[in-house]
């Protein structure tokens, strides 16, 4: 989202230049955060025994915990590669359900007046998302480097929520910032500008739906024990909004095909499934054009539910099939156990919704991304991808060189993990059938 305010741009260009000093104690050139898995509950309409009933569904969101200010205050924000700005402090009272209000209350608040390093920029901005929106006031403050007592990223610009709608958490937007979509440095820019990372790159392994341990995001590095094989390099495509060169820069990748490998068949691919795809951790579901949605409905024998999703029998979660997404020479096989979500004890749905529009475009959200390990490299406008696995931790620094991630090979074995450790009973936990599309509408 472009900031229209010229004086604001000037202020931050100056602040940014004055503070681009190297930091001490950042020898590793990377900064990693655990990715937390949080469920929350929401109500939605769905067909139940041929009657439209109010369902009570549970979905998973991926968050990171930041420590902002002096002394540091803990706040949790949704990890969002589909937007560009960081803001905290949603209005909990306007969350969509009581469950979400409760989650919101528990996600921590940043109280500017309690931070000695807080500076109010006196600029207000509105950010709209696919679902919900936020009116924020810009602040400048320090963000503590995780695992350190005093080392911090200094003078980071971010928003403090004044008034937000239907959002249970603040948003950690880590899309393209300064020079692309913003007139000031966002978190990714600031980490590089202050020398914490050597490259405007970060990698994400969200972690499986049933993983207790969660996932990880590493700014400036890669964890070679979170994937198998080598990372494949792709171009980050320019803006793809309805085929024009307008619109914001995002993490667009050329998808070669979508297909399925059912328990009884070899892999088949769908016609006309070559298209640009947006990698968006802020979206719970993936969005594919209607013809692919229809093909998946046929192949899964799925029922179109009142809420627009494709319902399948929950027993399917345990079947050894995959939904296959191919990019160049790489195919990410998403096991049914990760592609199907259990929204209610006896209501399971495929992780996709149809995307309408004159051009074929895909949004690959969490239902795809938790099976991939992705490096987002803004320094060289590349995206790297491999199949997600979790076999330990080995964090390595990424230099800013072109192709740096190609030298980092995954240490996990390649065997497809079909349904490791699915809980036997329904997890009673938070959630929302709120379709968390934390990207602006395409
Ligand atoms: C929704 O489910 C949660 C957890 O199972 C339960 O606590 C809550 O009362 C339910 N709400 C409704 C409206 O059914
Ligand atoms: C959230 O916090 C507010 C203010 O403290 C309180 O009034 C409200 O009842 C809380 N909501 C829930 C669902 O816990
Ligand atoms: C799909 O559903 C139909 C009707 O319920 C059933 O006869 C058929 O066996 C199902 N096919 C598969 C592959 O499950
Ligand atoms: C990759 O590794 C080779 C051999 O160690 C090295 O010569 C090359 O510079 C590395 N490339 C990058 C981009 O880091």
What local confidence, expressed as pLDDT, does residue 416 receive?
Answer: 59
Q: Do domains 31-197 and 205-441 have the same CATH topology?
A: yes
CA of 353 to the centre of ligand 2 (A): 33
Q: Determine the Cα–Cα distance for residues 410 and 227; give it in Å rounded to an integer.
A: 5
Q: Report domain 205-441's class.
A: mainly beta
Q: CATH topology for 31-197?
A: Cathepsin D, subunit A; domain 1 (2.40.70)
Q: Probe ligand 1: pick from 56, 59, 345, 425, max atoms within 8 Å of CB?
A: 56
What local confidence, expressed as pLDDT, does residue 52 receive?
Answer: 57
Q: With a cut of 50, list the residues of the chain below it in pLDDT.
A: 1-27, 419-442
Global pTM value: 0.86
pLDDT digit string (tens) for 31-47?
999 999 998 887 666 55
What local confidence, expressed as pLDDT, does residue 282 receive?
Answer: 93
- Whether residue 307 lies in the annotated active site: no
What local confidence, expressed as pLDDT, does residue 234 receive?
Answer: 98
Listed by start position, the domains of the chain span 31-197, 205-441
Q: Probe ligand 4: pick from 198, 402, 407, max atoms within 8 Å of CB?
A: 407
What local confidence, expressed as pLDDT, does residue 150 receive?
Answer: 83
CA of 105 to the centre of ligand 2 (A): 6
Residue 158: partners with Cβ closer than 8 Å, 6 or more residues away: 68, 85, 86, 87, 88, 138, 139, 141, 187
- Cβ(234)–Cβ(257) under 8 Å? no
CA of 210 to the centre of ligand 3 (A): 28
What local confidence, expressed as pLDDT, does residue 7 receive?
Answer: 31
Report residue 203 as tokens. Answer: 């990698």
Measured by CA distance, the residue closest to atom 12 of ligand 1 is 56
Type and span of the H or E element at 104: helix 98-105
Give Cα 317 to chain centroid, integer Å: 23
- Whether residue 366 lies in the annotated active site: no
- Cβ(269)–Cβ(257) under 8 Å? yes
Ligand at minimal distance from the CA of 90 is 2
CA of 301 to the centre of ligand 3 (A): 6
Type and span of the H or E element at 320: none
Question: Residues lining ligand 2, CB < 6 A?
Answer: 92, 98, 101-102, 105
């Amino acid at each position: 989202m472009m900031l229209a305010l010229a004086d604001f741009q000037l202020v931050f260009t100056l602040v940014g230049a004055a503070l681009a000093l190297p930091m001490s104690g950042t020898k590793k050139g990377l900064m990693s955060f655990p990715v937390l898995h949080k469920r929350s509950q929401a109500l939605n309409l769905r067909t139940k025994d041929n009657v439209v009933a109010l369902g009570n569904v549970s979905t998973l969101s991926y968050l990171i915990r930041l420590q902002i200010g002096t002394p540091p205050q803990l706040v949790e924000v949704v990890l969002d590669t589909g937007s560009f700005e960081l803001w905290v402090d949603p209005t909990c009272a306007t969350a969509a359900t009581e469950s979400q209000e409760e989650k919101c209350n528990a996600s921590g608040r940043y109280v500017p007046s309690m931070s000695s390093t807080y500076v109010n920029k006196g600029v207000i901005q509105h950010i709209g998302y696919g679902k919900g929106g936020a009116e924020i006031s810009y602040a400048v403050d320090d963000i503590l480097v995780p695992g350190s007592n005093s080392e911090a990223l200094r003078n980071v610009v971010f928003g403090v929520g004044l008034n937000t709608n239907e959002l249970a958490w603040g948003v950690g937007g880590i899309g393209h910032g300064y020079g692309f979509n913003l007139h000031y440095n966002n978190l990714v820019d600031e980490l590089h500008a202050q020398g914490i990372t050597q490259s405007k790159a970060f990698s994400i392994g969200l972690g499986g739906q049933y993983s207790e341990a969660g996932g990880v995001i590493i700014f400036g590095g890669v964890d070679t024990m979170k994937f198998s094989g080598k990372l494949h390099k792709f171009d980050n495509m320019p803006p793809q909004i309805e085929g024009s060169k307008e619109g914001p820069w995002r993490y667009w990748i050329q998808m070669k095909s979508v297909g399925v490998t059912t328990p009884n068949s070899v892999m088949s691919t769908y016609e006309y499934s070559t298209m640009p795809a947006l990698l968006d951790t802020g979206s719970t579901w993936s969005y594919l054009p209607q013809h692919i949605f229809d093909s998946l409905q046929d192949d899964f024998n799925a029922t179109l539910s009142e809420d627009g999703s494709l319902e399948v029998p929950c027993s399917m979660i345990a079947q050894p099939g995959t939904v296959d997404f191919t990019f160049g020479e790489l195919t990410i096989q998403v096991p049914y156990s990760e592609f199907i979500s259990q929204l209610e004890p006896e209501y399971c749905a495929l992780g996709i919704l149809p995307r309408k529009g004159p051009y074929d475009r895909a949004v690959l959200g969490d239902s795809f991304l938790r099976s991939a390990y992705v490096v987002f490299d803004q320094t060289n406008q590349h995206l790297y991808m491999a199949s997600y696995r979790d076999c330990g931790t080995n964090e390595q620094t990424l230099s800013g060189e072109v192709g740096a991630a190609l030298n980092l090979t995954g240490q996990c074995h390649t065997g497809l993990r079909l349904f490791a450790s699915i809980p036997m009973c329904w997890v009673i936990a938070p959630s929302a059938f709120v379709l968390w599309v934390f990207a602006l509408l395409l």
